[in-house]
Amino acid sequence: LRTDIAAALQQLGIESENAAASSGSEWFGMTGALREVHSPADGALIASVHMADEAAYETILTRAQEAFPVWRSTPAPVRGEVVRQIGVKLRHYKEALGQLVTYEMGKVLSEGLGEVQEMIDICDFAVGQSRQLYGLTMHSERPSHRMYEQYHPLGPIGIISAFNFPVAVWSWNAMLAAVCGDVCIWKPSEKTPLTAIACQRIVAQVLQENDLPEGIFNLIVGDATIGKKMAEDRRLPLVSATGSTRMGQSVGQAVGARLGRSLLELGGNNAIIITPHADLELAIRATAFGAVGTCGQRCTTTRRLIVHEYVYEEVKNRLLRVYEQLRIGDPLKGDTLVGPLIDRQAVETMQRALEQVKAEGGNVLVGGEPLQGSGYESGTYVRPALVEAENHYATVQEETFAPILYLIRYEGEIEKAIALQNDVRQGLSSALFSLNIHETEAFLSHAGSDCGIANINIGTSGAEIGGAFGGEKETGGGRESGSDAWKAYMRRQTNTINYGRQLPLAQGVSFDI
Ligand code: UN1
């Protein structure tokens, strides 16, 4: 193993063979099947992890249930103090954890570090939130009555996260859930379990230092059968899941069948619109980052570029120049812009999508091919593709988790572009580049973008944690991270208190006994 990674693993407490499940610092499940984790960067074996079996799952659930009554009775600002300490520890481990995110997942180092920064940011946000779990007060229609609402902890919650943000999306959920008084059970993607194990170890230190029950934060590494168990488990009142629409449909249906709550953050098919009034310099930069950043593996990745015919040729030529110069390679190397895809299967999926779009009439302008030769031995590197296509193509309607940008031409007014942008089943992120107020306001109006995120003169990806994150339609409707997303992790209770000596009924109803 390369020495920088060996040092990071050691600092983070990752062993060559790791247990499947953990409650704080206790580890269980050394008997399940062993899964090897290889780096997409160079194909090297990083470490192995046992996959959780039924027994490990039950142990984790029990630990979580035991910890919940203690944690929910801990005052919210004290819970916030624990999260503050997690944020401090994350700062300490930022370099090592960021490196491991990069090596295990493949995103370039500045994004690996950025992902850890996103965790630190949500910790800080959650600390403040811990003193602001506000409910409203209402004026009662009855004399000598008052009404208010309060938010109570919900219970043990399940968090299912995806490989592409192997740790940040967990932290959005877990840190808010923690200040809300919930305990959590985290199933990371089985493609990226090592960064999850590292986070669990960091959090365990804080729990121990504060003499808290270890079952407040739990980890379980398993495949889809564990995810299914979580979705069906009545002991988990909320399951938050991030991943493909197909995964979300099965989780959502299973949770719905028991009338539990699910918080879904699923696929996107995000577009940038470039109008004749755009600052093209900004638009090109934002498009490049949105389309090829993270090798096209963000749920917010720019997948469609809807360009007005007046500027279409210029945008196309400028993008071609950018695509021809992209530095593709080792994600740990400082100046790399595009790292590998997560695995060879992702490369095949990308190839299939390109074949399909060509068959539908699409024109591949540049890229798409898997890269070979020195530095690319892992077979996971591709050249990002720029493809002229039409919005209605079946391939364009799908989210392919790879760097393929579809160039779509529009004519006429902004409403035409908005209609194209909305004409997909997903509704996560969207952006418009224009300096014309008629266009920008139309895009943000009720008749504008139908997405959960709509931006002006910045791209579709790279949201800050302060806003609510999520989207509509097949994206699943959930909102995580900032704003009032914390409410999803609590149960609301409406309280009416009578401090008078009469019992007036609401709506003027009389009932004399
Ligand atoms: C995801 O891809 O699941 O807005 C999350 C962004 C990041 C989060 C992406 N802050 O691109």
pLDDT digits (tens, 9 = 90+) for 296-350: 999 999 999 999 999 999 999 999 999 999 999 999 999 999 999 999 999 999 9
Alpha helices in 180-271 (DSSP H): 193-209, 224-232, 245-257
For residue 497, name the pLDDT band (cuts at 50, 70, 90): very high
Distance between Cα 190 and ligand 1 center (Å) = 19
**Between these two residues, 468 and 31, which has the higher pLDDT value?**
468
- Two structure tokens written together for 488: 């999803």
The residue whose CA has the least distance to atom 6 of ligand 1 is: 462
Counting from 1 in the atom list of ligand 1, the atom nearest the Cα of 469 is 4
Length of the chain: 513
Of 104, 190, 265, 480, which one is the catalytic site residue? 265
What digits encode the pLDDT tens for the residues 156-188?
A: 999 999 999 999 999 999 999 999 999 999 999
- Report how far residue 222's alpha carbon sits from residue 193's, in angstroms, rounded to the nearest whole number: 9
pTM of the predicted structure, to 2 decimals: 0.97
| pLDDT tier, 218 (very low <50, low <70, confident <90, very high otherwise) | very high
> Which residues fall within 8 angstroms of residue 435, CB to CB, at 6 or more apart?
277, 278, 279, 457
Can you give the pLDDT at residue 18?
A: 97
Q: How many Å separate Cα 264 from the centre of its chain? A: 10
Is 341:402 a contact under the CB 8 Å cutoff? Answer: yes
> Which of 300, 428, 453, 475 has most ligand 1 atoms within 8 Å of its beta carbon, as the pocket-test mutant?
300
- Write out residues with Cβ below 6 Å of ligand 1: 118, 164-165, 169, 242, 298-300, 461-463
Which of 165, 169, 266 to mutate for ligand 1's pocket (most ligand atoms within 8 Å of CB)?
165
* pLDDT tens figures, 125-161: 999 999 999 999 999 999 999 999 999 999 999 999 9
Distance between CA 61 and CA 185 in Å, rounded? 8
**Residue 442, SS3?**
helix
Distance 17 CA to ligand 1 centre (A): 30
Please give the average per-residue pLDDT across 268-290, as a whole number.
98
Are 404 and 338 contacting, i.e. CB atoms less than 8 angstroms apart? no
Asked whether 342 and 307 are in contact (CB, 8 A), the reply is no
With the CA atoms of 210, 66, 237 and 492 taken in that order, what torsion angle do they form, in degrees rounded to the nearest 10? -60
pLDDT at position 504 is: 96
Rounded to whole angstroms, how far apart are CA atoms 145 and 150?
16
Q: What is the pLDDT of residue 312?
A: 98
Q: Which residues contact 130 (CB under 8 A, 6 or more apart)?
A: 76, 77, 79, 80, 81, 83, 179
Atom 3 (ligand 1) nearest CA: 299
What does the pLDDT look like over 355-398, one tens digit per residue? 999 999 999 999 999 999 999 999 999 999 999 999 999 999 99
Cα of 152 from ligand 1 centre, angstroms: 29
Report the distance separating Cα 270 and Cα 161, nearest Å: 20
- The percentage of the chain sitting over the pLDDT mark of 90, rounded to a whole number, equals 99
Bridge partners of residue 262, in order along the sequence: 239
User: What is the Å distance from ligand 1's center to 511 Cα?
Assistant: 56
Q: Region 505-509: what's the mean pLDDT?
A: 96
Tokens standing for residue 365? 């302008």
Ligand 1 atom with least separation from CA of 162: 3
Q: Which two tokens stand for residue 287?
A: 């498009």
| Residue ID of nearest Cα to ligand 1 atom 7 | 462
| Cα–ligand 1 centroid distance for 464 (angstroms) | 9
Q: Determine whether 265 is an active site residue.
A: yes
Atom of ligand 1 nearest to the CA of 300: 11
Closest ligand 1 atom, residue 297 Cα: 2
Residue range 497-505: mean pLDDT, rounded: 97
